[in-house]
Amino acid sequence: MPAPKKPTLSPTVMMILFGLLAMTAVSVFSSFGDVAAIPYSQFQVYLADGKVKQVTISGDVIHGTLKEATPDGKTQFTTVNVNHDLAAALSAKGVEFSGTASGGGFSTILSWVIPPLLFLGVWMFMSRGAGGAGGMAGGLFSIGRSKAKLVAPETDIKVAFDDVAGVDEAKAELHEIVDFLKRPDEFGRLGAHIPRGILLVGPPGTGKTLLARAVAGEAGVPFFSTNGAEFVEMFVGVGASRVRDLFEHARTAAPCIIFIDELDALGRARGASPMGGQDEKEQTLNQLLAEMDGFDRSAAIVVLAATNRPEILDPALLRAGRFDRQVLVDRPDKIGRVQILAIHAKKLSLDPDVRLEDIAALTPGFTGADLANLANEAAVVATRRGGQNIAMADFTAAVERIVAGLEKKSRILIPRERRIVAYHEMGHTLVALSIPGSDPIQKVSIIPRGIGALGYTMQRPTDDRFLMGRQELEDKMTILMGGRAAETILGDDISTGASDDLAKATDIARGMVLRFGMDKGLGPVAWDTEQAQFLGQPGQFWQQRRFSDQTAHEIDTTVRTLLQAALDRAIGILRANRAALDEGAASLLARETLTADELPKVHSPATIPAIEGGNV
């Protein structure tokens, strides 16, 4: 698509400007000839002495010629007329006087020249755009044009499908679209037609935009890239005009791809606004719906969009015929994380001891963007320590930096607080070591990190888990209660250090009761009033409760029973391993950080039942 032409001056306008400038120059240079500007009183003296040969009166200005040259050699003069009676009175008193012209020739010409020039300058400024525009964007007179950028795959895009990992299913789906655009006859021999729209759905950082860039690099067809927020303006009708302009350019370049990032900014469900009515966003959405499934479907245009808020999109956008396919771009599993790390490792200098599988095991739940940040942080750590290559310890430090925050070695704790933190973290560690099947302990530290963490216990999952049983949830609550249990056994007053642990354990207990139906007394009922949101998005701030006060009391009682049972179980485990607890806390106080090989041995495994009490 060609860039918009800059406005140029027509020959007529240039001739008018040249004439005005010439008149101005003549007026300016005429004032520097053999013309003397004299006071009006001097003119009266010349007139009385008979030295004036000829005069020309133009308004208040008198131009004249003298019979003889003045001492400075000038024969031409000019003066400004003064009221006759006033002039006579001034002459009688011997006062030299002169007048001032209300408007000279030069000032008159300027009054005619400057306003058109100012108007012309403002017009050119607004036409070119105040800040310089690129792509389809223009100045004030092109406000209704689309701001989408035409991407040239052969020059602007250096990303291919080989540069995207961890989302094999999404790649296969999009690869089919690319093949459809390259070989439409082969796919259409049985009557199939190209999908109208593909919606990439997934949490932030999973690679939706990167996949779109890979499609642009692989397709070899024009690729228009824009953002949903670029269609939203305060002026009614501007967004709809930009949608029309975008599809008009796409039709001229078909077959092509239109990519709309952050579709939720444009496609929010109609009627969701409390103001209602046909506001600007609804008009823009209506125009998009019409363009995606109007009467003209002959053009081979594929609309590729991305969002992490699919639950708020208008249903008309998601129906068949518009976004025919919805491709989930989820967080990668362990194998996917290894593949993503392998791509980033190509640009890094790694030590031979670095195993990508071990790094992937340390990063469950990390997205592609998180792993890219991890690789960069590891390189920074290695550079800071002066290493020649990036070691496994650098990746471990980078994981701790991302998960727990920056080390706060300057945060000095008093001896009593350090002792409480050491017992607290060792309580988590020993409970996790005592429970069969729990995630292995990677590292324990009492070095403060981040905003409020005074210590941390790092566990490394062995496998990615998608389902969890009741026993596993109970074990997690018990491990979370290990810190509070250690403080209880220590005998001192319990501290505020277990606040985050209590919040996480409470969430697990409430989920077991409210969402998963794991309590026999309350039955297999989902009591949670919060509507489940896609991709873990927060729900509404307040919703009406859907159960009675008696049921609410039973829920609170059951949750409290679960948490108390988990704490009692953790206390029992630590009492059975009191020697290991004291030994581990002493080692932490002396060394501040312990790895898996340096942890104390659990002498007696836990024999306490999973959870006692309650109806669970």
- Give the relative orientation of helices 482-490 and 549-576 as an angle to the nearest 10 degrees: 60
| Pairwise CA distance, residues 360 & 211, whole Å | 21
Q: With CA atoms as reference, report the closest residue to 581 among 460, 457, 489.
A: 489
Residue 327's DSSP bridge partners are 200
Reduced to 3 states, what is the DSSP secondary structure of residue 151?
Answer: strand
Please, what sign has the CA dihedral across residues 416, 420, 425, 429?
positive
Q: Which residue in the block uniquely carries the two structure tokens 């013309």? A: 35
312-317-321 Cα angle (round to 5): 150
| Pairwise CA distance, residues 266 & 243, whole Å | 11
Q: 3-state SS of 377-431?
A: HHHHHHHHCCCCCECHHHHHHHHHHHHCCCECCCCCCCHHHHHHHHHHHHHHHHH
Q: With CA atoms as reference, report the closest residue to 306 among 328, 336, 332, 290.
A: 328
479 close to 438: Cβ distance less than 8 angstroms: yes
Name the active-site residue from 291, 400, 425, 554.
425
Tokens of residue 479, six digits: 């491990």
444 close to 400: Cβ distance less than 8 angstroms: no
| Pairwise CA distance, residues 464 & 363, whole Å | 10
DSSP 8-state secondary structure symbol assigned to residue 59: T
**DSSP sequence for 210-274:** HHHHHHHHHH-S-EEEEEGGGG--SSTTHHHHHHHHHHHHHHHH-SEEEEEESGGGT-BPTT-ST
| Pairwise CA distance, residues 262 & 306, whole Å | 6
554 catalytic residue (yes or no): no
| Pairwise CA distance, residues 469 & 14, whole Å | 83
C-alpha pair distances (Å), 79 with each of 33, 508, 540 = 15, 99, 84
Active-site annotation, residues: 425
